[in-house]
Amino acid sequence: MGQYTGAVNASQPPSLLHTAASLRALEAVLMQRCASDAFALMQSAGRAACQRARVLWPEASIWRIFCGSGNNGGDGLVLATEALRVGKQVQLLRTDANTMAAVAEQALQQFLAAGGVVHDLLDQERLPNPDLVIDAVFGIGFNRAPDAASAAVIAAINASGCPVLAIDLPSGLNADTGAAPGACVRATVTLCLIAWKRGLFTGVGPECAGKRLLENLAGALGAAPRVDWDQGQCQLLSPLQIATALPRRPRDAHKGRFGHALILGGDQGIGGAALLAAEAALRSGAGRVSVATHPDHAGGFILRCPELMVRGLDTMAPLAILLARANVIAVGPGLGQGPWGRALLMAALTAAKPCVVDADALNLLARDRDFPPLPGGSVLTPHPLEAARLLKVDVRAVEADRFAASTAIAQQFSATVVLKGAGSLIADPDGLTSVCPFGNPGMASAGMGDVLTGVIAALLAQGLAAASAARIGVLAHALAGDRAALRDGERGLLASALIAALPAVLNP
């Protein structure tokens, strides 16, 4: 199912995601509650990592461990000491000549006392080929591009031809943003220590991390009490949230109780986008769905999906009645940026009803700030290039910090924002950000964003608040994509195949 390979158990509730700063605070709380110190925490981390490596690769006998000079390198040194004790052939390579952090120096002396040998990086060519490579070069404090020497180390790790275990996160990855401004380790497995780092779940994080596992160290520290941390302001979405947000419908339900979504879009020659959004809205439980589109498309829409109410618009005169009947408006799929599309967007924003704003509607907003403010309870769904246009920045700035970009748009428009891409983000104006760990590369195809627009519009129509509709919509969209890919494969996955999978996801 794509790149989601066990990051969290699907039966687990939402998890908190941490920045480097909040993780350090969490470490301090953990040490205080366990009457521990930094070296004891490092011992626990290294031993736990060694045990995980033995379970994951029981036949691996030669372990090549790359250790930096910081605390991540110290974790690797403790792991190396434990590996020696259980009979592994350990090839430990220091990756720089810097003075080691104090607790890492303790770990180094412990390794040497256990009979360990520290090899020079130049020794790699004459050492036996390893069965397992362990990356303990950079930790959560690393937030820049690696220098040339470090990049060469990362290249050697990636070229090893054997499994790679990254300790805490792949070296070169920014723990806070999920960006890698330079070389980055491509791990087979990343063992995240204590708590999830948010950079593992968005941007290039999922690709670089491989399979993501969590070692919270509670057991290793003597059944430490649960540590609750509420300042991360970031959560990892869970499928359990769907059932909570969408309870079973009552026996006396009727279509009027589940809202009326109006889809505005589908200019001449680009009608498919509006049709996909409308079909997705129906499949996501909206009681009624209307479409206002170019007259050329109206007949085809009805033939394809007779459950839709379709009106071809050659003038804006009939639009007032359609807007009055709907309780939610989705505007943008196939809208175009000409006078017709601009008129539809203006009508949507002045109707004083929650809007889902996507595609060309976003481009029009970015180009012309004379539009009225978004109605309350609205959701914007940009991809990175659209986000860059809204923020008036280069797309590289968006990808460098997706969290900051999504939050900035949410605050600028006083709306909930879905920043699409690998590890889609949902940012609400109150500062909470959610990350979706599901979805797969097959969803990088035309029409997928239009489907998401329809899903969110349907959930808004059914009464969910904007932030909840965005979170559940992104989650359902990604899970439906995974279902479709599991059935048909990723390459060639169609947006219409995802639509067919939506009811199963939304009726857990």
| pLDDT cut 70: percent of the chain above it | 94
250 contact partners, CB below 8 Å, separation of at least 6? none
Does residue 209 surpass a pLDDT of 90?
yes
* 321 and 405 both lie in a single domain: yes
347 is in which domain, residue-wise? 240-506
> 217 near 227, Cβ under 8 Å?
no
d(CA 41, CA 28): 10
Residue 332 binned pLDDT confidence (cut-offs 50, 70, 90): very high
Inside any domain, residue 10 = no
Inside any domain, residue 79 = yes
Report CA dihedral (273, 277, 279, 282) to the nearest 10 degrees: -170
Residue 92 binned pLDDT confidence (cut-offs 50, 70, 90): very high
Check residue 217 and report its DSSP letter: -
* 74 and 179 both lie in a single domain: yes
pLDDT at 9: 56
Average pLDDT, the chain: 94
> 199 near 175, Cβ under 8 Å?
yes
Structure tokens at 467: 């932030």
Segment 117-130, tens digit of pLDDT: 999 999 998 999 99
> 450 near 358, Cβ under 8 Å?
yes
* 320 and 443 both lie in a single domain: yes
Does residue 4 surpass a pLDDT of 50?
no
Segment 396-409, tens digit of pLDDT: 999 999 999 999 99
- Among 80-84, 196-200, 332-336, 429-433, which is the least confidently predicted range? 429-433
Which of 255, 263, 265, 250 lies closest to 289 in space, CA to CA?
263
Does residue 255 surpass a pLDDT of 70?
yes
pLDDT at 357: 99
Segment 6-42, tens digit of pLDDT: 344 566 778 889 999 988 888 887 777 766 788 999 9
pLDDT at 10: 62
Domain edge (last residue) among 231, 263, 291: 231
* 431 and 293 both lie in a single domain: yes
pLDDT at 505: 98
Structure tokens at 503: 């009811």
Which of 171, 180, 191 lies closest to 68 in space, CA to CA?
171
pLDDT at 2: 33
> 60 near 89, Cβ under 8 Å?
no
Domain edge (last residue) among 212, 231, 250: 231
| Neighbour count for residue 115 (Cβ, 10 Å) | 10
> 34 near 98, Cβ under 8 Å?
no
Which of 95, 110, 181, 177 lies closest to 146 in space, CA to CA?
181
Inside any domain, residue 9 = no
* 300 and 339 both lie in a single domain: yes
pLDDT at 232: 47
Place of tokens 């769907």: 242
* 271 and 224 both lie in a single domain: no
Q: What is the dihedral sign for C-alpha 105, 106, 111, 112? A: positive
Residue 225 binned pLDDT confidence (cut-offs 50, 70, 90): very low
Number of domains, the chain: 2
* 144 and 245 both lie in a single domain: no
* 249 and 270 both lie in a single domain: yes
Structure tokens at 417: 């924002």
Q: Quote the longest CA-to-CA distance of the chain.
A: 85
Inside any domain, residue 125 = yes
Averaged pLDDT for residues 422-432: 95
Which of 508, 448, 470, 331 lies closest to 2 in space, CA to CA?
448
Does residue 134 surpass a pLDDT of 70?
yes
Does residue 5 surpass a pLDDT of 90?
no
DSSP E strands, 107-248: 118-119, 132-136, 164-167, 189-193, 211-215, 234-236
Inside any domain, residue 2 = no
* 133 and 261 both lie in a single domain: no
Inside any domain, residue 4 = no
- Among 127-136, 220-229, 459-468, which is the least confidently predicted range? 220-229
Domain edge (last residue) among 231, 264, 292: 231
* 188 and 290 both lie in a single domain: no
Residue 101 binned pLDDT confidence (cut-offs 50, 70, 90): very high
- CA 443 remoteness from chain centre: 14
- CATH code for the domain of 32: 3.40.50.10260
Inside any domain, residue 210 = yes
pLDDT at 35: 61
Check residue 258 and report its DSSP letter: G
* 266 and 157 both lie in a single domain: no
3-state secondary structure of 107: helix
* 399 and 484 both lie in a single domain: yes
One DSSP character per residue, 443-486 reads: G-STTHHHHHHHHHHHHHHTT--HHHHHHHHHHHHHHHHHHHHH
Inside any domain, residue 11 = no
> 390 near 366, Cβ under 8 Å?
yes
H helices present in 246-309, as ranges: 272-283, 295-304
pLDDT at 181: 96
Structure tokens at 268: 């001449």
Q: What angle do CA 118, 119, 120 make, to 5 degrees?
A: 130
Strand order in the sheet with 416-419: 15-16, 234-236, 433-435, 425-427, 416-419, 379-380, 355-357, 328-331, 260-264, 288-293, 309-312
pLDDT at 26: 82
- CATH code for the domain of 427: 3.40.1190.20
Segment 108-117, tens digit of pLDDT: 999 999 999 9
d(CA 442, CA 430): 32
Averaged pLDDT for residues 285-291: 98
Check residue 197 and report its DSSP letter: B
* Pairing label, strands 260-264, 189-193: unpaired
- CA 420 remoteness from chain centre: 9
Instruction: Compute the 3-state secondary structure of the chain and give helix, strand, coil in percent, each to the nearest 5.
Output: 45, 15, 40
